[in-house]
Amino acid sequence: MGLKLMADLYASPMGTCVLQNTTVPVRPMEEYGRVFVCGLASPDAAKVAIESMLSRFGAVVAFKRVESERVRLAAGADFEVRFESHQCAIDAVRASQIAGDTHFDRTAEGVGEDFSLSFTFNDLCYHQRGWCVFEEALALECLRHFRKPLHGFDRPKLCELRASEEQLIIIYRVPPRLNSQIDLAAELAKVVFSGKGDQLIVTALLRSFQVRFQHLL
């Protein structure tokens, strides 16, 4: 239900001021080489098949069930794997995101079509993250169509927070007007979605929002 309403919430010209914390911490050394195995049809049945498939990318030095219920729910993770090097982890995650990649047999016992890999620590730049790009564009979309400032609208629509070593920097973003339209669908094709199927979800949300928004104009 929340996903169906989020586009309208971010886009509201009067009701929401969006805060962005665009600072992404550096990956800690203990997170190198670690990935989550997500979306298995039957985790216990899939363990042997997954270990075999992952070993094609390099030595797996640790393989364990995710015990934290919070992590299992938030990341959809069944197992946590640690490779001998971070490059092995990168290769495995990239391959899992390619449709039809032959390294992974999704018909193997317990694996399933929803199988995917994701890093345990996401250090991707903020403005390369699919959901972040989507949310920022929505936050500014309505204001692009107003020829005059809204009465009483004396606060910024979007604030970007950047943490430095000594202070928190606040940047107020003023949206461009009618002469600067963003092709959001094209922008979303350039960014990265860490969750399997997230790009399809965002695309559907975008289309639904655009249809309703154009109807109101």
What pLDDT score was predicted for residue 150? 58
CATH topology (fold) of 29-119: Alpha-Beta Plaits (3.30.70)
Please write the tens of the pLDDT for every residue from 23-82. Answer: 888 899 999 999 999 888 888 888 888 888 999 999 999 998 887 776 676 667 788 999
H-state helical runs in 29-126 = 43-54, 69-75, 86-96
Binned at pLDDT 50, 70 and 90, residue 88 comes out as: very high
Which are the contacts of 75, defined by CB distance < 8 A and separation ≥ 6?
Answer: 36, 38, 66, 118
What pLDDT score was predicted for residue 61? 93
For residue 5, what are its two tokens? 């309403």
CA distance 60 to 100: 23
Q: Is the pLDDT of residue 180 over 50?
A: no
Q: Is the pLDDT of residue 177 over 50?
A: no
For residue 53, what are its two tokens? 């498939």
pTM: 0.69
What pLDDT score was predicted for residue 90? 93
Domain boundaries of the chain, sorted by first residue:
2-24+125-216, 29-119
Please write the tens of the pLDDT for every residue from 29-38. Answer: 999 999 999 8
Query: Does residue 120 contact residue 31 with C-beta atoms inside 8 Å?
Result: yes
Please write the tens of the pLDDT for every residue from 107-158. Answer: 888 888 888 888 999 888 888 888 888 888 888 777 666 655 555 556 677 7
CA distance 134 to 184: 7
